[in-house]
Structure 1
Amino acid sequence: MHHHHHPWPLPSSPTPLLLPFLLSLFLSSFLSPSFSDDDYLQLYKVCSTTRQFSCGNRNISFSYPFRHQDSPPQCGYPDAALSCNDTDHTLMIDIGNKTYRLKDDNIDYATVVDRDFVGNPCPRPSENTTLGPAPFEYTDDDVNATFFIDCPTNLLSPLVSISCLENIAAGRQSYYWLGNGRLPYGQMNTCEISFVQVPTTRTAFDQWTYGHYAEALQEGFTLKLTAEIAVWCSACNGSGGVCGYESSKPTCFCSDGSATDGSCDKTGVSVGVGGLVIVSFLGLFLYRRKRRNQLSPVLLSRRASSEPISSKKDPELGDEQQHYGTQVFEYEELQEATDGFNASNEVGEGGFGTVYKGNLRDGRTVAIKRLFENNFRRVEQFMTEVDILSSHRHPNLVSLYGCTSRRSRQLLLVYEYVPNGTVADHLHGPRAREEGLSWPVRMSIAIETAEALSYLHAVTPPIIHRDVKTNNILLDHRFGVKVADFGLSRLFPLNVTHVSTVPQGTPGYVDPEYHRCYQLTDKSDVYSFGVVLVELMASKPAVDITRQRHEINLAKMAIDKIQNEELDQLVDPKLWRQSNGEVIWMIRQVAEVAFGCLQEEGDMRPTMKEVLEALRGIQGKGSNRKKGAEAGDAIAKDDDCSLQRERPQHSPDTVTTIWESRLTTPNASV
C-alpha cells in the first residue's frame, strides 16, 4: 500500500475548518445568558471591596486570585478560597477538594499543610496531592514523597518503612520514598494503596532523615502564584477593571457593567454580539494573512525586521495568549533584562540562537533565547516552540514563560532559568568534575529524560522532538532533568506511520533511517535517546574527530563494543573502576537498552514507553531480570523504504530480555 505523506500544519495556523469551531466556542463562552450588565456591575463593586477579613485579632489582606470563602465565587479562583478556623484562628485555604492550613499569613508564597495531617500523630496519605489548574504552582523547595500503604513486609530498600502504620499481626507494612517522583519498582500491586504522591519541602529533610514521619508531613509544602495571573490582573487593574473569575476563566469586570477576558479598554474580547462579530472577522483576516505570509517567506522576513516593537497584545499570538497564558514581552524589557544582550550574560549557544541569563522587572531570573535571524524557517521554529511548550506541561520539560511578538525586531523566547547547565556540560564539558557524575545521578537523568520523551509521544497528536541530545537536556541544582529546544519538533499525524521531511538535527544523534528514507517517526527520538544513554555511560561526546576513525561516531563505537563484549572499553573508566558488582550489572543492562535503541531499522527499536519501563526495572534492582526472555522476534514488514528485513545480530544477552511483549511492532508500516 502506498503511503501518503502530508505536511502537518502547526496548531498556530488556522484553517477554514477551524473557524466554525472558533465561532461556536465564542458563542458558548460569551453569549451565556447567566449574567447581565447589572450582574457584572454588582460584581465589579463587590469584588473590589471584599479584599480583607479578620481572623482572630489579625486583619488579613489579600489580592486576586484569592477570595474570601463567603464572597461571591466570581471574585477569585475556585481553588483559592480563604477562611479562618474559628477554633485556633489559623488561616485555611481550599485547593481542589482539600483544605489546607497556611503556616503563616504570607499568602503569595504560602507554606501549606493538609488539614488531615495537622495534629495527627500518624497520618495515612490515601490520595495524590493535586493543584489542578492555575493559580498555583510548586516551588523549587518542593520534592515528592511517594507512599506505599499496607504492603507485604518483605519490600526492600530504598523504601523506608513507617513504623506507626505497621500491622505485624497481618504481616503488613507501609513505606515511603523520597525519590523525587521516580518510582523504585515497576509493580507494587500487592499494596492496598500504591504510588500516592504528597509534596514535602526540603526543610523537612531532617525530619524524614531522623524518622520523624508525622512531623515531616506537618512541615507541609510551598506554593507560589503563577506569573501569568499577576501579569493578566495587572493589565485588568490598570484599565480600571476588577479581576475576577467567571465561566471557568479569568474575567475582568468593568465599571460600565461589561466584562472581558482582557482589560477594560476593550483590547480583550468583550461579552456580546459585537465582540463575536469582531472575532469572526479577525479570525478570517488572520487566516488569509497567514496564507499570504506562507506564500511569501522573503516578504515576511523583510517585514519581521522592520516592524515596530511589539505591544503587550499580539494579534497573532492573541488566541494562544488567552488560551495558554503565554505572555507577550516587549523587546525593550528583554534587552534591559540581559543588559543589552551583553556577552557576559551568555549561558549557551545552540543551532537556533544564543541563550542569555536575564532578570525581569518582576524579579524573575529567566533564560532568554535570541534566534539568529528572522527568516521564514526561524519564524516557523519559533511558533512551534511556543505552541508545544505553552500547551504541554510536564515536570521534565522546560517551562516557557512567554515570547516577543513574531513581528518584533527580534524573535525572543523566555523560559524558566535552569541553573546547573546541560548534561553535556557535566559529562565532557566545562562542568565535568574530576570524580565525574555518580551512577545513581546518571541513571536518574536517563529515566527523567525518558519520562519527558514518553510524555511527548503519548499526547494527542504525538510530538516528535527531533533534536534529542545531551546539549538539550538541562539540569537543576538537584540534577533534575528539563528537556529543552523544541524548535525542530513536529506534531505527528495520527493516521500515518511516518512523515517525509528533510533531515535536520545534530550529527551523531540523527536516526540512520533519516538519511536513507527521509522518514520521521517516534523511533527517531528513540535512536537519539540511545546515543544519550551511551554518553551517560561513556562520558564521551557523540562525535569526536580526535578519536580513531572507526570510533569517531559514538553510536557505532557502542554497537561494536557491546557486540564484542568489550563494555569496559566503552564505559567511563572512572565509573567502571568505582562501581560494585550491582552497579556493573546495571550498566550492562542499560547498555542492552541502548543497543536496542540504536538498531539501524526503526521497527527493531523499542518505543520510548518500553525504554522507560526497562530503565525503571533496572533501577529497581532488576527484580524482573528474566521477564520477557521468551518474547519472540519482531515481525519485519515491507514498506516503501526497504525490502523484507532480517533481525539484526544482537549482543550475547539479547535485548528482548529487557522488555516485555516485543512480539510485534504495532506502528510498523502497513
Structure 2
Amino acid sequence: MSSSLAAIIGGAAGAITLLGIIVLSIWFCLFRNRSISRNSENGSSDPSLQAGRNVGTELSLRGGVPSPNPLEARYFMLEDISLATKNFSDINLIGVGKFGEVYKALLNDGVIVAIKKRFAAPSQEFIKEVKISYQVFYLSSIRHRHVVSLLGYCQENGQQMLVSEYIPNGSVSSHIYGASQLSGEKLEFKNRLSIALGAATGLAHLHALNPPLLHKDFRTANVLVDENFIAKVADAGLKNLLARIDTAGPSFQMVDDDIFLDPEVRDFGGRFSEKSDVYSFGVFLLELVSGREASRSQISESDQSVVEWVQNYRDTSDISVIVDRRLGTSFTTEGMKEFIQLTAQCVNPSSERRPAMNYVVSELDRIREKEMSLTTVMGEGTPTVTLGSHLFTALR
C-alpha cells in the first residue's frame, strides 16, 4: 500500500515538474518572439546590430540626449565635422547648392561624405524637421542604388548642416555642358541612356514610397554620377525642408523662367504632384540628348526654345536640329526618335497627359536594351570607367 502511495506521489510530482518545464518553455519562446518582433520593425532581429546602426550621439539644443529611434538620422558633432573638412577649407569646397556650401569630408572612420552647410539661427524646428519630417518621408532610411543617402545632420554655433553620401564624379550637368565637359569629346548615346534610366529608377522609387516623396526640384544639376557613372538622384525632400524651417520664407524662390518647373505650377499656381516631377525629368532628358542647357538653348534662328521644339515634335521632324552633334553616329535613328518622343510626353503642358515614372523607366530600359544590341561592337566588352572618364570618346 505504502509503495503504491509513494508511486502515486512520485508520479504526481513528476507531472508537476514536467508541467512547470513546459510553462517555462512557452514563456521563454513568447518573450523571445516579442523581442525579435520589436527589433524586426527596424530591419534586424539582432539587438546588437540595431545598436550599431545609431553611431554617434543625438543632441537637442540643450545638450546630449541618446536617440530613442535607431532609424533617425545620425547627429554629427561640429568638432568632428570641422576636423573632417579641415575646418571648412576652400580645398574641400566642392560647390554651392540650394541649402548652402557643399564640402567634401573624410570622417574619422574613413568614410567620405558630402556636407551641406548654411548659417542660420539655432532652431528646434530644424532638428524636428530633419528627425521627424525626413523620417516621415523615409529619407534618412532610404538606401537605394539610385538615390543619394541622407546620413545625418548638425546644428551648432549658428550653423545648420546636412551630411550626405559623397558621389565622386559630380553632376550630370557638369559633364554635358559644365566645367567637366571636355572639348571635342562626347558621351555616347547608350551611356546617356544608362544615366537617364538610373535617374528615372531613383525618382520612381521616391514616388513609390508611402506616402510618395515628391522631389520638387529635380534638375540635371541634382543628378549625380559615381565613379562608374551610376546615376543617383540628389536633394530629394530638400525643398520641403527649407520651406518648413525658414520662417522668413524658403531660402530659394521659384523664378518665372525656371525651365524645369511644371508650367501648371509656375503659370497657374497649381499644386506639385508626381507629374510635376515627370515634367522636370523630361527637361533633364532634353538636356541629355541636346548637350545644352535647356534654359539657354534655342532652335535655329527662331525664338523657339528646345522645350517648345520637343513639345511640337513630330515623327517627320529633323532630329539633327536638337541632337548633340558630339554624339556623331553612336545611335540609331529609331532609338533616338523613340527617346525624343518619350521626352515630348514628359514635357506635355498637360499633367494628365504625362506618363508616370514607372512607365518612363520601362520605356528607357527598352530603348537602352535595343540601342545596346544594335550599336555595341562584337567583342567590345565593358570599359573600366575612371574619374574623367573613359565614357567620353573622341570624335572621329
Q: TM-score over 0.5 for the alignment?
A: yes
2:346 aligned residue: 597
Please say if 1:588 is aligned against 2:337.
yes
Match of 2:265 among 496, 500, 514: 514
2:219 maps to a residue whose letter is K
2 CA distance for matches of 1:356 and 1:584? Answer: 42
Q: Tell me the equivalent position of 1:617.
A: 366
Q: Which residue does 1:550 correspond to in 2?
A: 303
CA distance in 2, matches of 1:448, 1:520: 23
1:346 equivalenced with 2:97 (yes/no): no
Per-residue CA distance 1:533-578 (angstroms, 9 max, x = gap): 1111001112128986724x54224324557713211110121x32
SS, match of residue 419 in structure 1: coil
Aligned counterparts of 2:50 and 2:74: Cα–Cα separation in 1 = 15
Q: Runs ≥4 in structure 1, deviation > 2 angstroms? A: 132-135, 248-252, 371-389, 502-506, 545-551, 556-564, 577-580
Question: Structure 2 vs 1, CA of residues 464 and 251 (structure 1 numbering), >3 Å: closer, same or farther?
Answer: closer
CA RMSD of aligned residues (A): 3.8
Higher helix share: 2
2:292 is paired with a residue whose SS is: coil
Aligned to 1:536: 288
| Structure 1 residues 382 and 410: alpha-carbon distance in aligned structure 2, compared to 1, 3 A threshold | farther
5+ unaligned residues in a row in structure 2: which ranges?
1-26, 242-251, 373-396
User: Does residue 473 in structure 1 map to residue 223 in structure 2?
Assistant: yes
Q: Separation in 1 of the partners of 2:360 and 2:55?
A: 44
SS at match of 1:464: coil
1:539–1:377 Cα change, 3 Å = farther
Q: Which residue does the alignment assign to 2:50? A: 250
Q: Which stretches in structure 1 are left out of the alignment for 5+ residues? A: 1-32, 40-73, 80-131, 136-244, 253-260, 269-303, 491-501, 624-670
Deviations 1:373-411 (A, max 9, x none): 358799387565565421222110112222114x66311
Alignment of 1:10-409 (within 5 A): 133=43, 245-246=46-47, 250=50, 311=64, 313=65, 318-319=67-68, 322-324=69-71, 326-374=73-121, 379=126, 384=133, 388-405=138-155, 409=158
Question: Given the superposition, is the C-alpha separation of residues 480 and 368 from structure 1 closer, same or farther in structure 2, using an over 3 Å criterion?
Answer: same
The answer to whether 1:608 aligns with 2:357 is yes
Residue identity matched to 1:250: Q
Are 1:419 and 2:168 matched, yes or no?
A: yes
Q: Take 2:152 and 2:367, find their aligned partners in 1: how far apart are those partners?
A: 38
> Offset of 1:352 from its aligned partner?
1.8
* Alignment partners' CA distance in 1, 2:115 and 2:310: 36
* Deviations 1:17-41, CA, capped at 9 Å, x for gaps: xxxxxxxxxxxxxxxx859xxx9xx
What secondary structure, in the 3-state scheme, does the structure 2 residue paired with 1:550 have? coil
Structure 1 residues 503, 376: closer, same or farther in 2, change over 3 A?
Answer: farther
Summarize the Cα distance change of 1:376–1:251 in structure 2 as closer, same or farther, 3 Å threshold.
closer
Q: Assess if the C-alpha contact under 8 Å between 1:503 and 1:514 holds in 2.
A: no
Is the CA contact 1:463–1:489 (under 8 Å) kept in the aligned structure 2? no
Conserved? CA contact 2:152–2:163, under 8 Å: yes
Q: Is the 8 Å Cα contact of residues 51 and 70 (structure 2) preserved in structure 1?
A: no
Cα distance in 2 for partners of 1:369, 1:420 equals 17
| CA displacement, residues 562-612 of structure 1 (integer Å, 9 cap, x when unaligned) | 57713211110121x3235xx222111010000000111100101111111
How high is the sequence identity, in percent, across the aligned residues?
Answer: 30
Whole-angstrom CA distance in 1 between matches of 2:297 and 2:210: 40
In the TM superposition, what is the alpha-carbon distance from 1:528 to its structure 2 partner? 0.3
Residues 1:262 and 1:456: Cα distance change in structure 2 (over 3 Å)? closer
Amino acid at match of 1:428: Y
Cα–Cα, structure 1 residues 603 and 408, in superposed 2: closer, same or farther, change >3 Å? farther
Matched to 2:287, the amino acid is: E
Normalization by structure 1: what TM-score? Answer: 0.43
Question: Secondary structure at 1:352's aligned position in 2?
Answer: coil
**Are positions 1:445 and 2:195 aligned together?**
yes
- CA distance in 1: counterparts of 2:306 and 2:175, whole angstroms: 17
Aligned residues: 318
Q: Give the Cα separation in 2 of the matches to 1:425 and 1:377.
A: 36
TM-score of the two chains, using structure 2 as the length reference: 0.70
